Amino acid sequence: MLRSTLLYLSKSDRLKDFLNSFKSFNSITRRFVAGEDLAEAVDAICALNSKGITASFDHLGESITSEAETREEVREYLRVLDSIKETGIHSNVSVKLTQLGLDVSHELCYQNTLAIVRAAATLGNFVRIDMEDSTKTDYTFDIFRRLRHDYENVGIVVQSYLYRTERDVEELLKLGARVRLCKGAYNEPPSAAFPSKQQVDQNYTRLMKMLLESGIYHGIATHDEEMIEATKTFAAQRSISKAAFEFQMLYGIRRDLQERLVAEGYRMRVYVPYGKYWYPYFMRRLAERPANVWFVAKNMIKG
């Protein structure tokens, strides 16, 4: 499908429009990004909440090397937390540490993240620390452990494509940490990550079972129906309540599956990205699934 779609575009007058669609925020981009400002993201989350889906704000931005810009990110997340409280929407927040100064100073990053976690605790909310590429993993865990020592309203992400993750999960469960399990989306060297999808999936299933049996509330983040079915089957076999964990997905991806899981009684959380730095995120979403490219191309063809 992907090849035929791109071939069609290459032979049509739509190619220029297709490429130009990536240069400005528009209705096509909005499929995967809620908007460029906070108010648009709030509206998107309200719509999700009306379908029984909770959310997590993700203000787009990463690999920031200016201390002043990291302070701006903190202020934005404090605005987000206040907005959640004021509007009553069901959402928490998600942060990347390179967004908060990890590439500037580890202590700066810790203090910035602490400010967000502390504010969230005061407001009865929760902060999820995203995981980035494997060169950042140890630093991310170090900062998480410092935060988790004093605050319970902070969680972490682990990636099943890394060899190290089973050991990391064992340590995180000893801390009572809430974990979001995903496969991982960075281009990792073979020295750090499983080379095949089958191995990644096998590890994902192994880690999912460890998490569900822990008795701690975790997030099982995937759009892969095989992984979802494996989770549902294991939970049923172990008599684990549907309320004991949640599935998580990305905004605009597999909306049909999101709603189906809610209808089946499972908890669903959707990560809702917004902000002016939407382009890199949007392009990653296109690269991940051929169906996402087809969605954009189909809309251009209809135009």
Coil, strand or helix: which one is 128? strand
Nearest CA among 217, 233, 268, 232 for reference residue 247: 268
To the query of whether residue 82 is one of the catalytic residues in this protein, the response is no
**Does 251 map to a domain?**
yes
Q: Residue 185: its pLDDT value, please?
A: 85
Residue 188 lies in a domain: yes
Beta carbons of 158 and 131 less than 8 angstroms apart = yes
Please, which residues have CB within 8 angstroms of residue 42's CB and are 6 or more apart in sequence?
Answer: 83, 87, 89
Q: What is the pLDDT along the chain (303 residues), one digit of tens a residue?
A: 444 444 444 444 444 455 455 556 667 788 889 999 999 999 999 999 999 999 999 999 888 999 999 999 999 999 999 999 999 999 999 999 999 999 999 999 999 999 999 999 999 999 999 999 999 999 999 999 999 999 999 999 999 999 999 999 999 999 999 999 999 988 899 999 999 999 999 999 999 999 999 999 999 999 999 999 999 999 999 999 999 999 999 999 899 999 999 999 999 999 999 998 877 776 766 666 555 555 555 544 444
Please tell me the distance from the alpha carbon of residue 290 to that of residue 132, in angstroms, as a whole number.
23
Residue 186 located in a structural domain: yes
Q: Which CATH number does the domain housing residue 122 bear?
A: 3.20.20.220
Angle 200-203-207 from CA coordinates, rounded to 5°: 135
Angle, helices 137-150 vs 106-122, to 10°: value is 40
Is the residue at 284 inside a domain? no
Task: Give the pLDDT of residue 1.
Answer: 44
| CB-CB contact of 111 with 97 (8 Å) | no
> Does the annotation mark 146 as catalytic?
no
Task: Confirm whether 300 is domain-assigned.
Answer: no
Domain membership of residue 159 (yes or no) is yes
Range of the domain at 145: 34-277
Q: Give me the catalytic one of 180, 267, 269, 285.
A: 180
Q: Which of 58, 103, 130, 201 is catalytic?
A: 130
Long-range contacts: 25-28, Cβ < 8 Å, 24+? 25/278, 27/299, 28/295, 28/296, 28/299, 28/300
Does residue 110 form part of some domain?
A: yes
Inside any domain, residue 130: yes
Specify the number of domains making up the chain.
1
pTM of the predicted structure, to 2 decimals: 0.88
